[in-house]
């Protein structure tokens, strides 16, 4: 072995360099394909500056003069609440049908699992566009869309939670002659309840954000207000609404965080 | 329990949700789905390019977003940055996390006009909130011995980051980035409908033009796209997990 072997780059280094180079080329090609120039963001930053100049100071008068803005926020909150509640309840029911320790029939299990994984891949835009046509553009359409999306997002999680419960309590109840429903009622539900509620609170967090996006596609609520203010180029109103949305999201996040910690702390499961 | 029922009832009134509406809506919806049914396969070839565009927007958003998030994460970790910088960065990350991507996009579209660029920038900025926080938490938990070892032989801050920090967080970094890619694919469809181009725009356009058969084709493509990337990212994440040094 000569000294040159040691000075040459090692195989590991060569591999890393190859991966890095190929990655850079791919990224560059993608940039060219979509006409995306990362530098343009900085070169044309004056656009952002102009926009900010138009947005500041936020016009909070729109909130005090126009009571419908406050109502729109309430609508968004209600949409997210109902979507999480009904979506969560339906998700739990489907999860019981899909879990191997509560549903003995394999065919039912397969159908429930297929439903869940199918709902999971449908993006929220498609759901809302269909519901807007089915029930008309309203908060109700947004709520139904949130129900569907919540089932998709949390159904699988709930199934796993149900499947992971400890089996000794269930066996103890079963051994004294309880029926399947009684086993579920007295052994499985008490075990999963805190986790389920905590997850529903999390769903509420997620749904608040989705509810804002839904408003833009005709789901009503504060997102719709935002879209309206933006399309008539009232950027000062836009700034006020955006700041309201940020406050709303942070507040709901803190509240649901607090409740979640309380529930998980009090519950048997950690 | 009673409070919960009362709140549910009140919110239902605000939303205007009634069972009568629901049953009407179900029939309308089913009739509408029947209307959509035979997908317009002739539109399939011309939708492949927008689909590719959506995927590329998500991909670029993830790549640039991950790079920016690493910078923010380094600034937000208490074992690397000084407390002032750390707290400011943490607050910034928390605020960013509470702004939905779609709002960022609407503002960017207002600033830069329609196109792929606001989409990529919105997704990149959207990454900071989630990846920045997760990565900062990971960086705070890395093995301090490696950093000390590099410092003791005279490495400066940048060398510490490149040789001491990055190799330790790499496996987690990749798996989080892949997870974020999944989210970004969904978001890029959503953002497309607002004006970032891609298959989301095709969908919105077909719905707007009442060409429901065409819209159905777009729906099929979107579902295939989301499903495909989900499987791919799951597979890659599993691979990273078994091969990576950490977790």
**Per-residue tens of pLDDT for chain A, all 270 residues:** 455 555 566 777 777 778 778 888 887 777 777 766 666 666 666 767 777 777 677 666 666 667 777 778 888 888 888 888 888 888 888 888 888 777 777 888 888 888 888 888 887 888 888 888 777 777 788 888 888 888 888 888 888 888 888 778 778 888 887 777 788 888 888 888 888 888 888 888 888 888 888 888 777 777 787 777 777 777 777 788 888 888 888 888 888 888 888 777 765 444
Residues of chain B with pLDDT under 50: 245-247
Inter-chain CB proximity B111 and A48 less than 8 Å: yes
Choose among A27, A138, A245: nearest Cβ to B103. Answer: A245
Nearest CA in chain A to B13: A78
Q: How far is the alpha carbon of B224 from chain A, nearest alpha carbon, in Å? A: 8
Place of tokens 């990273």: B240
Q: Are A202 and A252 in contact (CB under 8 A)?
A: no
**Integer CA distances (angstroms), B182 to B1, B146, B226, in order:** 38, 33, 7
Assess contact for A81 and A200: CB atoms under 8 A. Answer: no
B234 touches chain A (CB under 8 A): no
CATH topology of domain A61-266: MetI-like fold (1.10.3720)
* A31 reaches B (C-beta below 8 A): yes
Torsion of CA A200, A202, A203, A208, to 10 degrees: 130
**Chain A residues near residue B190 by CB distance under 8 angstroms:** 123-125, 213
Closest Cβ opposite residue B28 in set A30, A135, A245: A135
Alpha carbon distance B148, A96 (integer Å): 51
Distance, CA of B15 to CA of A140 (rounded, Å): 6
Q: Is B104 on the interface with A (CB under 8 A)?
A: no
- Token pair of B227 as six digits: 């499903």
**Inter-chain CB proximity A50 and B64 less than 8 Å:** no
* Structure-block tokens of residue B152: 């003791």
At A176 the three-state DSSP class reads: coil
What is the interface size between A and B, counted as CB pairs within 8 Å?
A: 149
B28 and A138: CB-CB below 8 Å? no
- A263 and A194 Cβ atoms separated by less than 8 Å: yes
Residue of B nearest to A24 (CA): B63
Q: How far is it, in rounded angstroms, from Cα A217 to Cα A224?
A: 8
Name the residue facing A123 among B17, B100, B186 (closest C-beta).
B186
Nearest residue, CB atoms, B112 vs list A47, A77, A139 = A47
Q: Kindly list the residues from chain B whose CB atom is less than 8 angstroms away from the CB atom of residue A40.
A: 117
Contact flag A143-B24 (C-beta cutoff 8 Å): no
Closest-CA residue to A33 (of B184, B53, B168): B53
A47/B111 touch (CB, cutoff 8 Å), yes or no: yes
Which chain A residues contact residue B186 at CB under 8 A?
Answer: 123-124
Of A193, A192, A221, A211, the residue nearest A252 (C-alpha): A211
Q: By the CB < 8 Å criterion, does B106 face chain A?
A: yes
Residue A68 sits at the chain B interface (C-beta within 8 Å): no
Cβ of residue B107 closer than 8 Å to a chain A Cβ: yes
Cis ω before A123 (30° cut-off from 0): no
Among A189, A212, A191, CA closest to A83:
A212
- Selection from B186, B188, B172 nearest residue B61 by Cα: B188
Cα separation of the two ends of chain A: 59
A33 in B contact zone (CB under 8 Å): yes
How far is residue A152's CA from residue A44's CA, in Å, rounded to a whole number?
40
Respond yes or no on whether ipTM tops 0.90: no
Token pair listed for A216: 């833009």
Residue B151 at interface with chain A, using a CB cutoff of 8 Å: no
Q: Which CATH superfamily is domain B44-243 in?
A: MetI-like (1.10.3720.10)
The pLDDT value recorded for residue A269 is: 44
Q: Distances from the Cα of A61 to the Cαs of A16, A230, A240, B55, in angstroms?
A: 57, 16, 9, 41
CB contact under 8 A, B59 and A30: yes
- Hey, is the C-beta of B29 within 8 angstroms of any chain A C-beta? yes
Which ranges constitute the DSSP H helices of B77-211? 83-98, 101-112, 116-127, 133-140, 144-152, 157-159, 166-191, 199-208
The answer to whether B71 faces chain A, any CB pair under 8 Å, is: no
What is the rounded radius of gyration, in angstroms, for the C-alpha atoms of chain A?
26
Reduced to 3 states (helix: H, G, I; strand: E, B; else coil), residue B246 is: coil
Tokens representing residue A4 in the block = 């040159």
Helix (H) or strand (E) holding B31: helix B19-36
CA dist A80 and A88 (Å) reads: 11
Task: Delimit the domains of chain A by residue range.
Answer: 13-55, 61-266
Q: Say how far apart CA A35 and CA A13 lie, in whole Å.
A: 33
CA–CA dist B187, B204 (Å, integer): 14
- Cβ(B89)–Cβ(B68) below 8 Å: no
In whole angstroms, what is the distance from residue B192 CA to residue A162 CA?
37
Nearest CA-CA partner of B104 in B186, B187, B205: B187
């Amino acid at each position: 072995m000569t000294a040159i072997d040691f000075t040459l780059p090692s195989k590991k280094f060569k591999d890393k360099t190859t991966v890095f180079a190929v990655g850079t080329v791919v990224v560059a090609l993608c940039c060219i394909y979509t006409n995306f120039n990362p530098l343009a963001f900085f070169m044309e930053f004056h656009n952002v500056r102009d926009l900010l100049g138009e947005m500041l100071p936020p016009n909070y008068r729109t909130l005090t003069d126009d009571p419908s803005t406050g109502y729109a926020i309430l609508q968004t909150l209600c949409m997210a609440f109902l979507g999480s509640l009904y979506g969560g309840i339906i998700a739990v029911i489907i999860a019981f049908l899909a879990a191997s320790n509560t549903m003995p029939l394999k065919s039912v299990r397969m159908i429930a699992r297929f439903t869940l994984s199918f709902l999971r891949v449908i993006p929220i835009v498609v759901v809302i566009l269909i519901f807007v046509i089915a029930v008309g553009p309203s908060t109700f359409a947004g709520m139904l869309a949130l129900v569907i999306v919540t089932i998709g997002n949390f159904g699988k999680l709930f199934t796993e939670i149900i499947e992971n419960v400890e089996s000794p309590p269930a066996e103890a109840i079963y051994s004294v002659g309880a029926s399947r429903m009684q086993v579920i009622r007295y052994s499985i539900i008490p075990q999963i309840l805190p986790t389920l509620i905590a997850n529903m609170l999390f769903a509420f967090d997620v749904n608040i954000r989705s509810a804002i996006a839904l408003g833009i596609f005709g789901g009503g609520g504060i997102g719709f207000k935002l879209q309206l203010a933006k399309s008539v180029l009232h950027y000062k109103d836009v700034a006020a609404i955006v700041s309201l949305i940020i406050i709303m999201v942070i507040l709901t996040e803190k509240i649901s965080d607090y409740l979640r910690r309380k529930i998980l702390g009090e519950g048997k499961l950690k | 329990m009673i409070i919960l029922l009362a709140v549910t009832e009140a919110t239902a009134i605000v939303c205007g949700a009634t069972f009568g509406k629901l049953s009407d809506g179900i029939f309308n919806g089913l009739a509408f789905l029947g209307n959509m049914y035979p997908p317009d396969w002739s539109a399939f070839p011309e939708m492949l390019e927008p689909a590719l565009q959506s995927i590329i927007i998500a991909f670029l958003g993830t790549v640039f977003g991950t790079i920016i998030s690493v910078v923010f994460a380094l600034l937000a970790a208490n074992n690397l940055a000084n407390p002032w910088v750390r707290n400011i960065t943490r607050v910034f990350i928390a605020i960013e996390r509470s702004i939905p991507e779609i709002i960022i996009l609407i503002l960017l579209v207002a600033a830069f006009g329609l196109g792929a660029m606001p989409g990529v920038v919105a997704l990149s900025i959207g990454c900071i909130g989630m990846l920045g926080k997760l990565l900062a938490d990971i960086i705070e938990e890395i093995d301090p011995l490696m950093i000390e070892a590099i410092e003791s032989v005279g490495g400066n801050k940048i060398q510490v980051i490149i040789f001491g920090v990055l190799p330790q967080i790499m496996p987690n970094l990749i798996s989080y980035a892949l997870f974020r890619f999944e989210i970004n694919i969904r978001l890029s469809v959503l953002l497309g409908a607002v004006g970032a181009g891609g298959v989301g725009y095709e969908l919105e356009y077909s719905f707007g033009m009442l060409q429901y058969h065409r819209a159905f084709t777009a729906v099929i493509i979107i579902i295939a796209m989301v499903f495909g990337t989900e499987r791919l990212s799951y597979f890659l994440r599993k691979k990273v997990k078994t091969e990576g040094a950490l977790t």
